[in-house]
Amino acid sequence: MGTAWELTKVLREKIYKYASYPQTSVSLRQMVQFGPNPSPGSIFLASQFIVEELPIRLALKVKDLENAPLGLSKMPSTIKVKNWYAQSFEELTDLPKPIISEQLLELLNSNGNLHKQYQLSDSSTTKFIQDDNTIVEETTNPANSEQDNPAINNVFSDDGIVVRPSTNTFTHSSNQVPSMGVSSKLRSESPTFGKTYFTSCPVNIVWPKEVYDYNKQVFDALSKIKKRHDATVATMAQGVQEWKQDNETIHVNSSIQTFLDRFYMSRIGIRMLIGQHIALNMSQASQAKTKLTSFLNGNNSKAGGKRTNYVGVICTDCNVGEIAEDAIETAKYICEEYYGLFDAPEIQLIAPGNDINFMYVPGHLIHMLFETLKNSLRATIEFHMPKLKAEMCAQDPDLKFEDIDINDLTFPPIKVIISEGSEDIAIKISDEGGGIARSEVPLIWTYLYTTVSETPVLEPEYSQTSFKAPMAGFGYGLPISRLYAQYFGGDLKLISMEGYGTDVYLHLNRLSSSSEPLP
């Protein structure tokens, strides 16, 4: 599939046109307004928004990749990623628009707060309905958008989220159009001009079949696109590796670093929209099944009750301690498998007596903690293993260094300390893994920097869903984790004592008044 696909001149021109439109920010508050039991009508309107907003973001990605600095755009893996985005753009803009009857329009506007764009069944003209109910004809065709499915049960899912713009330190790309500098003409021509992701609609009414059909159509399109883009991070890593080999360099150039930061940051936003929308569709479908089960089995059915604190992929009452425990267990399992250990080094969780709960995306938090803990475990084992073996040999001269089993060694514990403040929740991961030389600390935030001698090689048909997480080697764990933290309005910092160990500080913004940091 996709081998015969090509980026045509006509499609490229269309992509560049969409790349000139301003993106529409989606706030965390809008994300959770759907509630745990979203209305099919609200999802219907959100589907239209998504199908019009995502092509703008995808177009910007294609344009950025075509203009990647210093020849990175010419690398085979970079071209592959660019074509994925272009193909997804094409699929979404080709998605048929729903035909909305006057009756459905009345249902959608029954709360009196509708200000979306529709195509009425008796008219071929696209209309924009404003808050004062006046109708303004638009001359442009809204685009359709794609999304990725955030496998809710996959703890390594890397869907994006939204954050306060004040924390965004990224500079604008010359190939992107900041919303503040967009002309009024471009702004009004944008398919998502004047629209919002969430619109309130009644829950307890019978929605017509076309609402469910369109929601499923968008859900299926986004799910397909999600699979296509699952391997983007690793494939771009290969593109950077190809660039390094071509340029015979060890480290990533600063302009490449800046480009990758911006590229992955915007990818988080795209995947958040995709992941959240697919999850909302899934929860809405689950809600319908639950109601049917409740009706058939009586009103005492508790089906689906466990996830009432979830709105899509966002947990409104996320327990930091529980997620830390999950990350600890996962990191220890990977460590034990990699080193052949019966028991990985101890990881002590130090948290306040009371639970710390706040609104967050659990999949992101466990991802950041897992990556950090994995580094600490590896550093602890590889720093102390030769020292501990040498000590055992000194105590028993008959003992050979190479014959000592790693399971006979006792490693110092790693500490995970959780603290709660009025603005932030802070997590410190403290290890005694020997630390990092001060000259190398800046390098750990650069892509493809790793202390592993051999970087894992990806198969040609690599798929993130089937990929087994390595103990180390790609050099992407910390840079990507820091982007996740910053996208949430937080940060990830590292302080090292060479010869002793490293402390990593993860700051999480607990304020829900966050909106996307659009480039």
Rg (CA), the chain: 25
Tell me the three-class secondary structure of 452-471, residue by residue.
Answer: CCCCCCCCCCCCHHHCCCCC
Residue 115 catalytic?
Answer: no
Among 410, 407, 405, 412, CA closest to 347: 412
Note whether 367 and 481 are within 8 A (CB).
Answer: yes
Note whether 96 and 143 are within 8 A (CB).
Answer: no
- The percent helix, strand, coil of the chain (3-state, each to 5) is 50, 10, 40
Q: Is the dihedral of CA 15, 18, 24, 25 positive or negative?
A: positive
Please report the beta strands in 378-454, taking only residues with DSSP state E, as ranges in sequence order: 414-420, 424-431
Label residue 73 exposed, middle or buried (CB < 10 Å: 0-12, 13-18, 19+): middle
What number of residues does the chain have?
519
Look-up: residue for tokens 């514990």?
413
Which position among 281, 375, 507, 509 bears the catalytic label? Answer: 375
Residue 371 catalytic?
Answer: yes
Which position among 367, 384, 389, 507 bears the catalytic label? Answer: 367
Helix, coil or strand: residue 93:
helix
Which position among 63, 116, 332, 374 bears the catalytic label? Answer: 374
Look-up: residue for tokens 């009857």?
101
Q: Which two tokens stand for residue 207?
A: 């929605």
Among 74, 243, 255, CA closest to 171: 255
Cα 468 from Cα 470, distance rounded (Å): 6
Residue 492 β-bridge partners: 506
Cα 21 from Cα 55, distance rounded (Å): 10
Label residue 455 exposed, middle or buried (CB < 10 Å: 0-12, 13-18, 19+): middle
Query: Per-residue DSSP letters for 481-509?
Result: HHHHHHHTT-EEEEEEETTTEEEEEEEEE
Residue 516 catalytic?
Answer: no
Torsion of CA 105, 111, 113, 118, to 10 degrees: -10
Residue 242 catalytic?
Answer: no
Which position among 52, 371, 432, 516 bears the catalytic label? Answer: 371
Beta-carbon contacts of residue 431 (< 8 Å; ≥ 6 apart): 376, 377, 379, 380, 412, 414, 415, 501, 502
Cα 277 from Cα 46, distance rounded (Å): 8
Residue 508 β-bridge partners: 425
Look-up: residue for tokens 């991070």?
233
Catalytic residues: 367, 371, 374-375
